[in-house]
Amino acid sequence: MIIGFCFIIVFAVLINKVSLQLTVEVTVEGFIGGSVLLPCSSTQHDLKLQDTDVFWRNKDKENICDLIKGTESLESQDPRYKNRVQTFPDEYKRGNFSIKLSDLTHADAGEFNCFITPSDEQETVQLIIKSGPTPPPPPTESTDQENHGPETQILDWWKILLICVFTLLPVFGLSYFIFQQRKRTQAPI
């Protein structure tokens, strides 16, 4: 019974670890008429562009942009995004598949999804559109890289380590307690 319980706990920790890596949710703000960077980065360190496809879709599953094997593909792009999407091919080799969406309208507000295959990673970006006299300056490349750099990966490993410690510690404590109880009840009087 203890082994089964331990297996369930370890399985739950592994599922939590996978969900931490595969889905990322981010909120960004844009202004009417301005532009906004929609971030999407892979956590895979051994990313091979010739084997990687990236699909950007909006809340209605409309095609915003496809990056097929390191090349931008606009063949099936929804007409509403024509000439409004900018990609950054020099960033692909770093695993950065962010796009810039220009000429923002209220209709652009909502959820955008970036799917990276074959790693099955997904980044969900919630876009909030604000009315304002002047849009803020766009973020620099270094700001985007800082948000997805080694510090974020270290933080993720700390989360996983803490989950493991706080999950397995009670399991081992309970196992030790049960072992001691059995030992006491089986000891000759």
CATH number (domain holding residue 47): 2.60.40.10
> For residue 17, what are the domain limits?
2-186
Radius of gyration of the chain (CA): 23
Query: Phi and psi dihedrals of 38, rounded to 5?
Result: -100, 110
Q: Given the structure tokens 């997805």, which residue do they identify? A: 148
CB atoms within 10 A of CB 148: 20
Please tell me which residue, 5 or 109, carries the higher pLDDT value.
109
Summarize pLDDT for 110-159 with one digit per residue, the tens. 999 999 998 889 999 999 999 875 555 656 555 444 455 555 556 666 67
Q: How far is CA 131 from CA 35, 80, 96, 105, 135, in A?
A: 13, 20, 29, 9, 9
Residue type for 15, please? I
Q: What is the number of structural domains in the chain?
A: 1
pLDDT value, residue 21: 45
Q: pLDDT-derived band of residue 176, with 50, 70 and 90 as boundaries?
A: confident
pLDDT value, residue 107: 94
Flag whether the pTM goes above 0.85: no
Q: Which residues pair with 116 in a beta bridge?
A: 54, 121
pLDDT value, residue 145: 44
pLDDT value, residue 52: 92
